[in-house]
Amino acid sequence: MKFPSAAVVASLLCLIVAPVLAQTTPSASPTATVPVPAAKRVTCLATTQNLKGQDKRDQMQLCMAQARIDCLKQAIDQKIVGEPRKSFIKTCVGGDGTEQQ
């Protein structure tokens, strides 16, 4: 059962990574960056679709926490600070971070 989930995750990761690697202007201002909207949340939902109950909630929380860390690293790399950083992370993760499954 884990194989189809892994295939879905791998496919979605390719969709997430490709636009990031395709950025050709590394010296652009931090306000010009556009994160991939909701892609990380969609990936988390896809990876937990076969789980139920507490296992699903636990895996969703872990996945979203990792997504927030990944978005924070991206914001730091792009030197986004202050309120724009909070907004960037929210948009990057794909939600406000207060929802739980």
In-domain check, residue 10:
yes
Angle between helices 39-47 and 2-21 (to 10 degrees): 170
44, exposed or middle or buried, with CB in 10 Å at 0-12, 13-18, 19+?
buried
Whether residue 28 is contained in a domain is answered as no
Reference 92, options 100, 54, 84; nearest CA is 84
**pTM summary value:** 0.56
- Identify whether 100 is part of a domain: no
Task: Write out the residue range of the structural domain in which residue 10 sits.
Answer: 2-23+34-93
Spatial distance between the Cα atoms of 79 and 64, rounded to a whole number of angstroms:
22
**Does 48 reside within a domain?**
yes
- Predicted confidence (pLDDT) at residue 76 exceeds the cutoff of 60: yes
The number of folded domains in the chain is 1
Q: Is residue 15 assigned to a domain?
A: yes
As a whole number, mean pLDDT of residues 22-26 equals 46
Task: For residue range 2-20, list pLDDT tens digits in order.
Answer: 545 555 555 555 455 555 5
In a domain, 66, yes or no: yes
